[in-house]
Structure formats: structure tokens, C-alpha cells
Amino acid sequence: FLYIDISDVVDLYGWEFKLGWNASLLEVVSVEEGSFLKSGGETFFSEKTNNTAGYVHLACTLLGDVSGVNGSGILAIIEFRVKAPGECALDLYDTALGDSNLQSIPHVTNDGYCYFVEETVESGGGRGRPPMPT
């Protein structure tokens, strides 16, 4: 799982971003809205996943005449399936944060990087269960 979080924001009313990855190594299994923005009221959450091109486009906004949310929390949760061993960047781009006055909120983003290794499972010697006494 990949958690997209935000820290120390003031008056967040809506957000949007794209996240890109190497499509030969990863594919998205599920996407869900995090709990942070909906702590301020009813929200509209939009998700578009393109596993062929290797990106997801997410956006979320509060609905109605409410104040934005302050603080830190999780914006979205993305579950990936690893298709092959390797390594790739998780590129966060086209990011936007907006306040309740429809003004842009300045922010800094951090990309991610993942390593995937093939796991070998040993069988334990193949002895099986010891015989039952008779």
C-alpha cells in the first residue's frame, strides 16, 4: 500500500494529483480516499487509473459551504501489485491544493522510489509430518 499524506496544511478544501510508475513492474489494484479531507464534511472523490500507461489521476473536494481542513493526514491510499522484480520511481506530478476561497495553497511534494526483489521460500526439508503413534 502507498499512503499519500499531507502535513501542516491550513484550510484545505480540495486537492488533485497524478502519480506515475513503471507499468511493466507495477499495477494498481485499488484506490481509496483517505480520511483527512472527509473529516471536514461530505466530499466528492474522483479516480482514473491507467495501468497500461502507468499512472493514476486523483482529485477530491469538500462539498458545500464549509471551511477547509487543517492539520495532517492521509489524502489517498493506493494498493499496487508487483508484476516483476526491479526498481522504479513513484512520480507525483500535476499537484494542486486549494483552500475554501478557491485560492491555490503553495506546497512541496516528495516523490518515492521502490525496490522489488524476488522472494524464495524454503520448504523446510520436505520431511512432512512425523508419523502418528499407534
pLDDT tens per residue, range 35-63: 999 999 999 999 999 999 999 999 999 99
Residue 16 lies in a domain: yes
> Cα dihedral sign for 67, 3, 44, 22?
positive
Look at residue 129 and tell me if it is in a domain.
no
- CA 36 to chain CA centroid, Å, is 13
Confidence (pTM): 0.85
Residue 123 lies in a domain: no
Domain presence at residue 124: no
Any idea what the CATH number is for the domain that residue 16 is in?
2.60.40.680
pLDDT < 70 positions in the chain:
119-134
Structural domain range at position 69: 2-116
Q: Tell me, yes or no, whether 22 lies in a domain.
A: yes
- Total domains present in the chain: 1
Contact 69, 40 (CB under 8 A): yes
Residue 127 in any domain: the answer is no
